[in-house]
Amino acid sequence: MPRPTNKHRKLPPSSAPAGFADRIDAFIACLSLERGLSLNTQSAYQGDLDDCAAFLAEKHGLKSWRDVTAAAATAWLHSLRDGGMSAASSARKLSALRTFARQLVREQFRPDDFTELISSPKLPRRIPGTLSEAEMEKILAAPAGGDAMAVRDRAILELFYSSGLRVTELSTLAIPQLNLDDGFLRVFGKGSKERVVPIGGKALEALRVYLDAARPRFVRTGKTGAEVFLSERGAAISRKTLWVIVKKYARRAGVEKKVKPHLLRHSFATHLLGGGADLRAIQEMLGHASLATTQVYTAVEPGRLIDQHARFHPRNKG
């Protein structure tokens, strides 16, 4: 199966000062060609590095990445904080700078990593929002009727909740990635890493109905490709449209929480954990590189922990 691409689109050249821009451009090319990162991710890296380079040139009079010190880079981070940037955003920018600095060392452009001694901003632990099972059931039932739009939207919501896909993964999902007979799909996540994700029974049923009866009504000659979910114009459904769909049915279901596609992904993980699923299996299904990322869901289910304590602690018996 061919790996999804960014259709050979490229970012415009770095806007950093002369002496800095060429190394940023080389780094972005590496992110695209060797690591297969999305255009959005490449753009975020480039923006962070361009901002850093502009600060280093203007405030410290530096001419090249060869001249950058830990003190100068730390001053940039402090300027972000003083400008009101959150710790989370500052940490993301430092992460981009660290990745870039390591690349400079690997390419022997510098002998040392100037970010090695920089401390990361302390982040508060954020617990993902989630929907209750009852709220999720209401949203899944919201696309009423048998018209093509309702059938499509029902399949979208069921698949979001059944498989925990990211919004980009669902919008780019192609028919060859589906294996409905065996009940799974292959998806390309961050960094174009492939993973296998199960499709639950209700989602399988909704997908089959959509593919057989509704998708053909969206097909338009010259516009339709292999993507599973199509817009009214016959093209692949966009991320923005998926956001609109999720929010529309959440309102129709009477759910007062701020519902967006990623909340369905959080609910997928939380409900699996609450049902007793293994944390490493959830990690695989979500496509998390680190188990630590998945472990945040253990903080979402205090009721499950209380139940486990009540059932199994010896002092609760008799």
Domain boundary among 106, 141, 166: 106
Express each pLDDT in 200-252 by its tens digit. 999 999 999 999 999 999 999 989 999 999 999 999 999 999 999 999 999 99
Most confident of the following: 28-37, 126-135, 139-148: 139-148
Say whether both 71 and 169 belong to one domain: no
Q: Which domain holds residue 272?
A: 133-309
- Give the residue numbers annotated as catalytic, written as ranges: 166, 190, 262, 265, 288, 297
Residue 117 lies in a domain: no
- Closest by CA to 257, choosing from 245, 244, 247, 242, is 247
Say whether both 58 and 153 belong to one domain: no
Using the 8-state DSSP alphabet, how is residue 13 labeled? P
Structure-token pair, residue 231: 């817009």
Residue 111 lies in a domain: no
Structure-token pair, residue 52: 């850093």
Say whether both 178 and 269 belong to one domain: yes
For the chain, give the percent of residues with pLDDT over 70.
Answer: 88
Segment among 62-76, 128-142, 239-253 with least mean pLDDT: 128-142
Say whether both 169 and 68 belong to one domain: no
How many Cβ atoms sit within 10 Å of the Cβ of residue 305? 11
Residue 306 class from Cβ within 10 Å (0-12 exposed, 13-18 middle, 19+ buried)? exposed
User: What number is the average pLDDT over the span 274-299?
Assistant: 78
Residue 113 class from Cβ within 10 Å (0-12 exposed, 13-18 middle, 19+ buried)? middle
Residue 113 lies in a domain: no
Say whether both 259 and 173 belong to one domain: yes
156 pLDDT above the threshold of 50: yes
Domain boundary among 106, 122, 148: 106
Express each pLDDT in 113-125 by its tens digit. 999 999 888 766 6
Q: What is the reported pLDDT for 1?
A: 42
How many Cβ atoms sit within 10 Å of the Cβ of residue 317? 8
Q: What is the reported pLDDT for 233?
A: 94
For 104, residues 6+ apart whose C-beta sits below 8 A from its C-beta are 23, 65, 110, 113
Return the CATH number at 85. 1.10.150
For 115, residues 6+ apart whose C-beta sits below 8 A from its C-beta are 70, 73, 94, 97, 98, 101
301 pLDDT above the threshold of 60: no
Say whether both 95 and 201 belong to one domain: no
Express each pLDDT in 24-58 by its tens digit. 999 999 988 877 777 888 999 999 999 999 999 99
Longest Cα pair distance anywhere in the chain, in angstroms?
A: 76
Structurally, the chain folds into a number of domains equal to: 2
